[in-house]
Amino acid sequence: MDLTEEYCATARRLNQLAGLDDRISLRQGDVTDLPFEDATFTLIISQHVQMNVADKALLYAEARRVLVDSGRLALWDIVASEDGKPDIPLPWADRPEYSHLTTSDRLRTTIETSGFEIEQWNDLTGGHAGSSPRPSLRLRRVFHLMFCLLFPRCPFRGCQRFRPMVTAMGSSSRVQMVSMPGS
């Protein structure tokens, strides 16, 4: 899901170039008003979404609505530090009114209030929005999870990290990518 058709078209082309267009579908739409029936998905992956959404309660209520009862939400996002706002411009916002960062604690509370039970929460902000220890490792983990979800055999040698979750989903599962560009 993406807010703009242009981003969806670009992602479709990248999926096609990678030979994944039969495994990933993309739709243009609003993440606070998802065009899916209740209890449609077993997994939602949200990457760099909430920083673009003012109404985070509605964002996560919609995610909860379209997940089955045993469904999972996996997210990786940027949060604000406790001591201030980041310097504008940002990669996703060139004006303050386009950035809707919140602190890690507030984000966690919003997600829990939306009906999710948090199994694991890793706050890597280090007290500074936009900074994190070993960003290349963090990025590698996100792509590792994506590979595990998309391929029957994960290409990462010795993979055990995400295998139980992927096995539980089944090899025929389709992945719905839910993301949104900066305004």
**Distance from C-alpha of 63 to C-alpha of 78, rounded to nearest angstrom:** 18
* Helical (H) or strand (E) element with 166: helix 163-169
Structure tokens at 56: 């985070």
Minimum mean pLDDT range among 4-13, 84-93, 157-166 = 157-166
Question: Which tens digits make up the pLDDT trace of 25-79?
Answer: 889 999 999 999 999 999 898 888 898 899 999 999 999 999 999 888 988 888 8
CA distances from 91 to 19, 50, 87, 150 (A): 28, 14, 11, 27
Tell me the three state secondary structure of residue 176.
strand
CATH superfamily of 5-131+173-178: Vaccinia Virus protein VP39 (3.40.50.150)
Locate the domains of the chain by residue range.
5-131+173-178
pLDDT in tens, 69-122: 988 898 888 888 776 677 777 777 788 888 898 888 899 999 999 998 888 888
Contact 128, 101 (CB under 8 A): no
Cβ atoms 41, 73 nearer than 8 A: no
CA distances from 137 to 47, 49, 76, 96, 144 (A): 16, 20, 13, 29, 10
Q: Which residues are CB-neighbours of 176 under 8 A, at least 6 positions away?
A: 1, 24, 25, 41, 44
